[in-house]
């Protein structure tokens, strides 16, 4: 398999892909948390929801699909860049939510 010519471009592309996936799943979680908070009167908790495991399985399936569709981004150690981007994207959503919870 031929690798990408410039490793910086490959690293940035894999980071951006990971951030996009992390942001997408983080925003899905946030939307579900907000909907659940509107239906209940109590303060939102840190616990698991009713379908958290299913969404986690969707996240893992998405990562497997990306790995199958974009094999160049998962060669020569670049899979760690995708994972770091995913962590950064999901972490941004969680930090924004945590800062909002502290203001309450």
Tens-place pLDDT, residues 50-86? 676 777 788 778 878 877 777 766 777 777 888 888 8
- Whether residue 44 is predicted with pLDDT greater than 60 in this model: the reply is no
Cα-based angle 33, 45, 87 (whole degrees, multiple of 5): 65
Residue 1 confidence (pLDDT):
45
How do the domains of the chain map onto residue ranges?
A: 11-103
Q: What is the pTM of this model?
A: 0.70
CA Rg value for the chain:
16
């Amino acid at each position: 398999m031929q690798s990408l010519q410039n490793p910086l471009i490959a690293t940035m592309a894999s980071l951006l892909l990971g951030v996009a996936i992390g942001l997408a799943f983080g925003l899905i979680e946030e939307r579900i948390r907000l909907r659940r908070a509107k239906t209940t009167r109590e303060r939102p908790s840190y616990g698991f929801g009713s379908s958290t495991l299913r969404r986690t399985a969707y996240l893992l399936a998405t990562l497997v699909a990306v790995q199958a569709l974009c094999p160049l981004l998962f060669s020569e150690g670049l899979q760690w860049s995708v994972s770091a981007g995913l962590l950064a994207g999901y972490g941004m959503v969680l930090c924004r939510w945590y800062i909002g919870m502290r203001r309450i």
